[in-house]
Every structure is written in C-alpha cells, then in structure tokens.
Structure 1
Amino acid sequence: MQPENQGQEARPGLVHGVSGLARNAFALFVSRVELAALEMGEVRDNLARLVIVGVLGTIALCFALACWTALVVALCWDAMGWKILLLVAVVYTVLAALILLRARSLLSPDSLSLPATLAELRGDRDALM
C-alpha cells in the first residue's frame, strides 16, 4: 500500500509545484511589464519636453536670425556688397553646428532608454541561465 500512497502524493505535489512556478513566472512578467510602462512614461515626458523646447527654440531663432540678417545686410550693403551675404552664411553655418552639438548633448544615453527595465531583464536572464 505504501507505493500507491506515495504515487498519489507525488502527483499533487508536482502539479502544485508547476502551478506555483507558473504563477511566479507570470507575476515576474507582470512586474517587468509594469516597470517598462513606468519607464516608457518617463521617456515620453522627456521626449515631449525636448520636442517642445526644440520647436520653440527653432521658431525664436528663425525670427531673430531674419531680423538680424536684414539689419546687417541693410547696414553693410553699400560698403561690402555681396560679400556681406557670404559672411552671414558662414556665421549661420557655424551657429547651426553649435546648435546641433548642443542638441546631441541633451540626448544623454539614459534619457530616452529604459535602464532599470533592461537591468532587471539582464538579472532575470542571468538568474535563469
């Protein structure tokens, strides 16, 4: 009788163990999805701020450049002629390069990524391997 009794106890234990494992795996998956959703919200906010600042800065810069260009060309046309247009073009090219470098520095590696989620997923992978 004992072998039959032990066989019956092993089956519920195995089923219980597998269901517990599945429950824990699902809970782990849900927690990782929640963490990713939280970080995606932060990324969305950072990206929205960057776009708004970029658009407003671009509009203001365009108006300022148009006004200053018209003033400089009007004041210098008699003395320099077409050369003033070349000088203004060079200045604008340097200014555009500086703005591009500043925009790239605003995009730090962690501002638009999911560092905590990726670290947790790496930890999960290492624990499972």
Structure 2
Amino acid sequence: MKQAFILRGLPGSGKSHYAISLAEEMVGADETRYVICSTDDYFYHSDGSYTFDKHKLSEFHNLNLARFINALGEGIELVILDNTNIRRWEFVAYVAAAQAMGYQVKEVVVGEVKDKSLQHLYQKRNVHNVALRTISNMARHFEW
C-alpha cells in the first residue's frame, strides 16, 4: 500500500530525524522507494548554507507541494511531508492530493507542542536558529 505521512511539529522537535528513520524502517535505504518533501530544502544554497527569506516562503511552499504531488504521480511507495504544519490549512492540499491518488494518509505530530521546557530544548537544537519566542508563538497557534 502506498502511504503519505504528514509530519507536524515545532522547529527542533525532530521531524527531519523522524522522517529519515521512518523511511529507513518502512522501505529501507532504497531512496527510489521514498521521498521526503521539506520546504526548508529550498532555502539551502549550493554551498550547503541555509538562509531563510520570508519573502520566498510562499513560492517555496508551492514548489514543495508540486514536488510532493510529482512524487505521488510517480507512484513512489512512501511520500513524507516534513514541514511544521502548525495550522491545518497548511497541509490540507497535501492530504487531498495524496487521497485523490489512492495513498493512505497518516498525520504524525512529532514532539510535545505545549510543553514549555521542551520548547527551550527545541530552540537549542533546531538547526535554523529559530528563536524561542517564535517557537512559543507557533505552539500557541498549533491546531489539533
């Protein structure tokens, strides 16, 4: 059965690590059998550096959705969305596309969203230097 996973969680909660572990567990190391789609990928430069640009966010979200839909269209066995997905509207198009193409869709919240002490941990370990204030604000707006 073809599956799509929608990962949700705060920056630094472990979504990307979870995505890789999930793929390895479900389909092994064969990268032809899975795709991990993350909008963050578009903020990386050829030298490996990362620069977030809020003015590019909408464009990059659209590119990521297109990549996700292309993977579904190719019949990739496992397609994973690795974004924060704080509000439900942020991932509804992904769910609709996956269901329309016959994928079983699973939503996974990674980490503990409301735990303040964990928010401090997430701020320390997130690789994009998202401020604690931003992480706490995201937690307050998280939609279940």
What TM-score do the two structures reach when normalised by structure 2? Answer: 0.21
Largest Rg, 1 or 2? 1
